[in-house]
Amino acid sequence: MKTRDDFKHDLDFSLKDWVQDALLAESVDKREPPQFTDESIDQLMKQVYEKIEREALTTYHSNEPWALRQWALGNIMRDEIANEASNEIAHNLISPVLEWQQQQPFDPISKFHEKLVADGKSKHSIKEYMVSVAKFAARKGRKRTYPREDIIEHFAWLREHGYTKKTKIKETGEVYFTEKKYTQATLRREYVVLQEFFRFIEDRSDWKMPISRVKVPTADELNQPILTHDQVEDLIVSTVIEKLPINWIVRLAVSTLYGARVSELTDITFHLDGVDSSVYIKTRKRGERRRQPLPAALLPIFAIPMSNMTESSLRYAFRSMSDKMGWNLPERFGWHSIRRRVVTDVYSSTNVKDIPIANFFRWRVGGIGQLPTYVKVPTETSDTEILKQHPFLEVWETLVPLLMELHPEYARCIQAQEIYHDMKILVYLCKKS
């Protein structure tokens, strides 16, 4: 078996060596390879370091060490290098890039990131901001100030070139790429984010973009996919038929009852205490962060050891569930397509008014003029009233016994079984009386 010592030469191999070897390999006359001065190589290496940083920004939307290292692993390292040594080799390769970064007078990306953290932006919002900024910096490089020509060209590029979408056919493993245009909503977001970025690095709150403000998309221009009521019910029933992972089932329950956004489903928590049970949903859209009541009949579903899920794993879960249903959903269908259906059905099938509905789905209600400051309906009361009339509550209540008795994970969950057993005793006593 090979040990780390077998890879000692590779560990000492530097990025500078790699560039020189690449230049020699490209030389026309192999017998008399070109000679490079130290000065010319050093100048070239600075361009290489900047190129690697920009490639990492393009691929991973970050110029931090982990992104540089990951880019090196995927683009410079050779397949035959052993896994046990690869991380150290990659670190050695990108260490001069890190030194070059530290020598630069200004890093607009990290400084803007610090500003967003200082402003109290959520992690989700910071991630969205940094994707737009990293996309721009990857194309234009790091600068203390950007000329108007850079900004104009970038937005022209966004409109004309769009982006490349990667699609993998699950059955065959075939991967293909298609060219897509950015939507009006995406261009609007890019405009708003980059304007804030430029105002920060210019240190001027009145700084104006050199292009016209991207208009708010009309209703026709918005792509807002929505599942049908029957599709949502089919997803709920599939929790028993397909025996979905219980971590997915809990998320699906919170999504179909409370219309949770994908960012809100990552780290939900529950407080189980009979009729006073509640779920705590950490909203990401400036809505109110608060506990919401849980239907007592559904408590066994939520009585599981909870673990957080990333947004990418949640998107994978949704796609897996839809694949099991045999659906061929168009692009952009996801958890939010459930939220739109839940909001639509609650609004159309209940007699609850606008403000309680806005509170229930964790919207910021300040946009409804001064009405919320006058109407003082306790949110606990209005939430309970909505749940009583909820269009998807009955199907979940029907599935509780099936999940507890037929789903292997729930059958092994002691707390879920204890709550379910107590519920059955209570139902029996009620019928007896």
- Distance of alpha carbon 301 from alpha carbon 244, whole angstroms: 13
Three-state SS across 358-377? HHHCCCCHHHCCCHHHHCCC
Place of tokens 């191999």: 13
- Distance of alpha carbon 274 from alpha carbon 76, whole angstroms: 58
* Full strand arrangement of the beta sheet holding 269-271: 269-271, 278-281, 290-293
Question: CA separation (Å) from 342 to 217, 256, 309?
Answer: 23, 6, 22
> Amino acid letter at 73?
L
- Distance of alpha carbon 342 from alpha carbon 254, whole angstroms: 11
Specify the pLDDT at position 274: 85
Specify the pLDDT at position 281: 87
CA 324 distance to own-chain centroid: 23
**Do 166 and 177 meet the contact criterion of CB atoms below 8 Å apart?**
yes
**Do 67 and 59 meet the contact criterion of CB atoms below 8 Å apart?**
yes
What are residue 281's DSSP bridge partners? Answer: 290
Each domain of the chain, given as residue ranges in start order, spans 4-103, 117-202, 229-432
Query: Quick one: which H or E segment has residue 166?
Result: strand 163-168
Specify the pLDDT at position 150: 94
CA 140 distance to own-chain centroid: 25
DSSP count for the chain of H helices, then E strands:
20, 5
How many CB atoms sit inside 10 A of residue 336's CB? 20
The answer to whether the predicted template modeling score (pTM) of the entire model surpasses 0.75 is: no
In the predicted model, residues of the chain with pLDDT beneath 50 are 1-13, 78-84, 287, 367-377
> Amino acid letter at 64?
E
Kindly state the tokens that stand for 216: 């708010």
Question: CA separation (Å) from 144 to 111, 131, 134, 371?
Answer: 11, 19, 15, 46
Specify the pLDDT at position 76: 60
The second-level CATH assignment, the architecture, of 229-432 is Orthogonal Bundle (1.10)
